[in-house]
Structure 1
């Protein structure tokens, strides 16, 4: 199994000063992950989701990380692909440029965005987002491979054009899709795409979902020049030598993550101003329940939280379900930078050598 880091660039109650510090902190975290042998760093693209995700220009962040690192892969997780967000040609050009500058380390993921905040801010035609996304999936790998690209589709008509530059990786960087449901994971598999999933559901349900994805990949009609057979999950994670201390930070951060996500994705309303999400410590009874339930077989697999021994047990359940990569969400809105660094280091030294 591979282990990576996931960056929403999340921050509770930001100010200009703390937001500025956040970006530099995330770079430091990514550089440490590279030194410790993590597989990849992935960054989201979101717009207007204040506090939940300040990562609105991941192509800039990832380029800076690529220049500061040597081995870690550079993941777009994901680029918003419908054309009001990003034109497919601009995506192809930017990703190829990043692949060149990183010496072939790019993973490219794509998505539609399920947030009304983003959809309305960019004046998207919401009913056609899925069709726009699918057309872009078919176009972009062709732009990377064809000397002269042309297209006459539902949303795009492009005359013969030489799309440059071309990526280093052949036939092109591995392609992934954001998946929030079992059906979307199956769709990704049928298109020959790797799948990026939030960690959720019991081990039994996750195993079934992975199996369905593998079956879809086995009979894929790939949109690109190669099939990416890869199932990744993004669990919340804090790993420290002291189990209780790790859980205090980890479950507090996970609660803030899920609550803040629901504010933007759980209703039609667009939050403006301070986000109403719990950022304080968990009550003792809630913390104890969360700690006790971590390894219960029928509890959803949503985190890798605790001391190294507990985390190795949690990872084993993901591995048994057939997951290829855990993209750990350590940078959580309520967790101090120093704790995130300690967690990255503890995992890298005390877990990664035994589970990688």
Structure 2
């Protein structure tokens, strides 16, 4: 995945993409369009199912999408490690650095804490169970294994897994987010549509969150982000210097180095004339010769148009 992520970033940022011959991926020179609105490309993220991947994300200069930390002390440790690695070891895999840690969190908010739990608790625990099924302990037969039915059998004996701080009243949710914000977590991603959670309950939770919880964090977000970017700017500059020193930056092609490709149809006809079986059919050789002559004339016309500036 490292090889392809790097090349996709190059495709989005470079005009044209110079092409690549790798171990797992190869592609000739092409201009990949449309180019993204975000320049040089959208922020790169990696989902981190373990702490080693958080460290790797920092080394590559990409955002770490993490599952909820068990406690603030753990969060602070890994946030500090992530940003220290950004500052000292980062060699960006893309054309920009996305220095961010996002934490996946449970989410169900209601003025009545018991109602918040009733609406969202079971769905979040099912999400945890299903995640464990696919990542760790489950034996799965596609089209036959029913994870929800399996969950119903173990629901009452399923041990607490933590991470349920996002379920409760607006004050409780605010405190949950405030703790991790103070530890340096940049973003929170809410798990909402899990299990049998109802659409109207999810919408109501979002409305309560937007009205009663989010304003506190939104008020200072622009200032916080600007301060962080100012602090990281010299380290990101050094990160790209490391990449250049290691000759890991794909060079732009000069106009003279951009290869010119002939029309696809010409290549098809040329390959057909080399197929011995075609010559056993009456008139095949003559038809192929006529097609070749027509394509040669088309090429001459196209080349003349380019010389006269009639095409771009």
Which of 141, 151, 161 is equivalent to 2:30?
161
Q: Give the number of equivalent residue pairs.
A: 213
Q: What is the CA–CA distance in structure 1 between the aligned matches of 2:178 and 2:150, rounded to whole Å?
A: 31
Which residue of the partner structure matches residue 245 of structure 2? none
Residues 44 and 98 in structure 2, CA contact (< 8 A), matched pair in contact too:
yes
Which residue of the partner structure matches residue 243 of structure 1? 113
Q: Are 1:304 and 2:138 matched, yes or no?
A: no
Instruction: State the Cα deviation string for residues 317-344 of structure 1 (Å, max 9, x = none).
Output: 1112210000111222121111111111
Q: Are 1:264 and 2:134 matched, yes or no?
A: yes
* Structure 2 spans left out of the alignment, 5+ residues: 219-312
Structure 1 residues 332, 313: CA separation in 2 closer, same or farther (over 3 Å shift)?
same
5 Å matches for 1:14-33? none
Q: Are 1:173 and 2:61 matched, yes or no?
A: no
5 Å matches for 1:174-189? 174-189=43-58
Structure 1 residues 257, 347: CA separation in 2 closer, same or farther (over 3 Å shift)?
same
Which of 199, 202, 216 is equivalent to 2:68?
199
Which residue of the partner structure matches residue 84 of structure 2? 215
Which of 4, 8, 13 is equivalent to 1:140?
8
Q: Are 1:278 and 2:171 matched, yes or no?
A: no
Structure 1 residues 238, 279: CA separation in 2 closer, same or farther (over 3 Å shift)?
farther
Which residue of the partner structure matches residue 208 of structure 2? 346
CA displacement at 1:186 relative to structure 2: 0.7
Q: What is the CA–CA distance in structure 2 between the aligned matches of 1:211 and 1:355, rounded to whole Å?
A: 21
TM-score normalised by structure 1 residue count: 0.56
RMSD between aligned residues: 2.4
Q: Secondary structure at the match of 1:140?
A: helix
Structure with bigger helix share is 2
Structure 1 residues 268, 254: CA separation in 2 closer, same or farther (over 3 Å shift)?
closer
CA displacement at 1:302 relative to structure 2: 4.5
CA displacement at 1:168 relative to structure 2: 1.2
Instruction: State the Cα deviation string for residues 287-337 of structure 1 (Å, max 9, x = none).
Output: xx98xxxxxxxx954441101011111111111221000011122212111
Which residue of the partner structure matches residue 152 of structure 1? 21
Q: What is the CA–CA distance in structure 2 between the aligned matches of 1:318 and 1:218, rounded to whole Å?
A: 21
Instruction: State the Cα deviation string for residues 261-281 of structure 1 (Å, max 9, x = none).
Output: 22222236214332234359x
TM-score normalised by structure 2 residue count: 0.63
Structure 1 residues 268, 244: CA separation in 2 closer, same or farther (over 3 Å shift)?
closer
Greater relative contact order, per chain length (Cα 8 Å cut-off, separation 6+): 1
CA displacement at 1:245 relative to structure 2: 0.4
Q: Are 1:234 and 2:97 matched, yes or no?
A: no
CA displacement at 1:164 relative to structure 2: 1.4
Quick check: 320-329 or 255-264, which moved more?
A: 255-264
Which residue of the partner structure matches residue 306 of structure 2? none
Structure 1 residues 277, 261: CA separation in 2 closer, same or farther (over 3 Å shift)?
farther
Residues 63 and 98 in structure 2, CA contact (< 8 A), matched pair in contact too:
yes
Which residue of the partner structure matches residue 322 of structure 1? 184
CA displacement at 1:238 relative to structure 2: 0.2
Larger Rg: 2
Residues 177 and 188 in structure 1, CA contact (< 8 A), matched pair in contact too:
yes
Structure 1 residues 243, 172: CA separation in 2 closer, same or farther (over 3 Å shift)?
same
Structure 1 residues 243, 268: CA separation in 2 closer, same or farther (over 3 Å shift)?
closer
CA displacement at 1:231 relative to structure 2: 0.5
* Structure 1 spans left out of the alignment, 5+ residues: 1-132, 291-298
Q: What is the CA–CA distance in structure 1 between the aligned matches of 2:15 and 2:188, rounded to whole Å?
A: 36
